[in-house]
Amino acid sequence: MAGSSCRSPTSTGPRSDSSLPQHNRPTQSPLAVKAVEMIVTTSSTNRIPPGPIGFRHILGNARALGDNAPEFLASLHRRYGDMVRLPLGLFTVNIAYHPNAVQHVLQENNGNYVRGIAYEWFKLFMGQGLLTMDGESWRNRRRLVNPLFHKTAIDAMAEEMVRSTTVVLDGWAASDGPVIEDVVPDMMRISLGALGRIMFDTDLEPDWPRIGAAMQTVIEAIVFQGTVVQLLPSWLSLPYHRRVARAQATMFDMAGRIIEAHRSGTHGDRPDLVNLLLNSTDAATGRPLTTENVRDELMTVFIAGHETTGTGLSWALYELARNPEVQERMFAEAQQVFAGRDPVLSDLSRLAYTKAVTDETLRLHPAVYVYPRQALADDEVDGWHIPAGDSLFLCSYATHRHPEFWSAPSRFDPDRFDPAVAADRPKYAYFPFGGGQRKCIGHAMALMQMQLTLAMIVSRFRITTVPGHSADLSTYVTLRPENGVVLRVEPRSR
């Protein structure tokens, strides 16, 4: 075996929920069935995870996954236990839910797992970027960009994060009276504004409407890879194809202009991502990175960087509106720390409750709700056999609700992240940014942005719900709110 887990395999038996797929009932004799069970259960190397098997489930599984993937994956955990085998048409995936299994795949035996075919979908727009690479090419690129994400570099980003947040909040304050609006676009705007200045030394604010619309189309195109309309030849020039082509052209044009501006010397030698890439060589060839190489990394940061942070901020505001006691506790903390001024880097360590709110938001609403992997060699994960070539999904959405580690898991409760409470919790019971050597390179930057922005918002505004509106799940690349997050935003007296 390539590795093993220390926990004995467990699985809940079938339950009576008729809305979920059932095991096929065996037609063989009870003696034959018992013999098969004995063979399977006495050899951990041959144990195949349970799941909704049988031809009648294949289309149903795919349909349920498309309708509401996070909830469907969570329902499988409730029904079958900590490891599930799920047939999906021509493919079968294994889904691991226990923190031990997550740690095994992401950290202890990570060399046996690559991102695999699922990440091919992203190459339409990200090409060979940090998100889509594997193996030595990934290690070389990660090593190259790591300096931009060291703590000292991230600490210097706080001022730009505050600036991008202030632009949006000043717009809210300029309105007469309370504002009722979908806050998702504004949170995306804050995230992209900070990202543009920090990573590209570029003000993307004037281009926000065009970039925002193109980004939405790009994300939808990634999500719907492999659907019928995408499989039709592009020469048919259907409205879908034309819309995606326009969005791709918009994003590539923006990246191209940023690259050329840096090449011309307009940005000097500022140590941003673009200059770093333009002054680097490909470790495999010894030659400078091509324009396409640089563009792929810019697109990766555009899509992965701003989308996840903007989504997290949106869900945080939704939860704060629904939990006014949490919001007022955050307000009291911000008042004490800021004392009427804008936040600075040194304030972060004093925003402990705001950090807990951020963590609890990402527990309930992890931007990346599933991490696909593919096994290179046979493995044993949590006592279950994973054959070479099999796909294995790690579902953070469900693990973050695992009842063994989270009491009342659906309740929003930032006190879960009090250090005294969290001390005995397994490390991988919570992994909103993945883990191991492939943990999101920008996780510290995202957390800083969320803390600063949320503290600034509650210090200036009271956020309340709008009757009749709910933010349902929408499974794009990230766990976006389906109908936006429509809130009442009312200035506090200062």
- pLDDT over 90 (residue 428): yes
Residue 17 lies in a domain: no
Residue 302 lies in a domain: yes
- Cα–Cα separations (whole angstroms), residue 13 to 30, 78, 239, 392: 18, 10, 47, 21
- pLDDT over 90 (residue 364): yes
Q: Which of 14-28, 189-203, 413-427 has the lowest mean pLDDT?
A: 14-28
Confidence grade of residue 238 (pLDDT, cut at 50, 70, 90): low
Beta strands in 160-214, from DSSP E residues, in sequence order? 179-182
Answer whether 134's CB lies under 8 Å from 114's CB: yes
Q: Which of 201-215, 305-319, 375-389, 436-450 has the lowest mean pLDDT?
A: 201-215
| Residue 440 is labelled as binding a ligand | yes
pLDDT reported for residue 232: 56
Helix (H, G, I), strand (E, B) or coil at 15: coil
pLDDT reported for residue 219: 75
Burial (Cβ within 10 Å: 0-12, 13-18, ≥19) of residue 360? buried
Confidence grade of residue 241 (pLDDT, cut at 50, 70, 90): confident
Closest of 110, 487, 474 to residue 317, by C-alpha: 487
How far is 292 from 123, CA to CA, in rounded Å?
12
Residue 473 lies in a domain: yes
- Cα–Cα separations (whole angstroms), residue 471 to 172, 316, 402: 21, 12, 22
How far is 247 from 87, CA to CA, in rounded Å?
34
Burial 314-328 (b: 16+ CB within 10 A, else e): bbbbbbbbbbeebbe
pLDDT reported for residue 224: 62
How far is 94 from 89, CA to CA, in rounded Å?
14
CATH number at residue 266: 1.10.630.10
**Entry pTM:** 0.86
How far is 110 from 436, CA to CA, in rounded Å?
8
How far is 415 from 358, CA to CA, in rounded Å?
11
Residue 336 lies in a domain: yes
Helix (H, G, I), strand (E, B) or coil at 17: coil
Residue 276 lies in a domain: yes
DSSP 120-140: GGGHHHH-S-TTT--HHHHHH
Confidence grade of residue 16 (pLDDT, cut at 50, 70, 90): very low
Answer whether 299's CB lies under 8 Å from 291's CB: no
Domain count, the chain: 1
- pLDDT over 50 (residue 17): no
Residue 42 lies in a domain: no
Residues 6 or more apart whose Cβ sits within 8 Å of residue 349: none
pLDDT reported for residue 476: 57
245-282 pLDDT, tens digit per residue, is: 899 899 999 999 999 999 998 877 788 999 999 999 98
How far is 343 from 345, CA to CA, in rounded Å?
7
CA trace torsion 39, 44, 45, 50 (10° rounding): 80
**H/E run at residue 491:** strand 486-491
Residue 274 lies in a domain: yes
Closest of 382, 384, 375 to residue 47, by C-alpha: 384
Q: Give the range of the structural domain holding residue 235, as residue numbers without chain letter.
A: 56-491
Closest of 451, 419, 194 to residue 337, by C-alpha: 451
- Cα–Cα separations (whole angstroms), residue 334 to 117, 165, 352, 416, 494: 45, 15, 10, 20, 13
Span between the terminal Cα atoms of the chain, in Å:
63
Residue 380 lies in a domain: yes
pLDDT reported for residue 221: 75
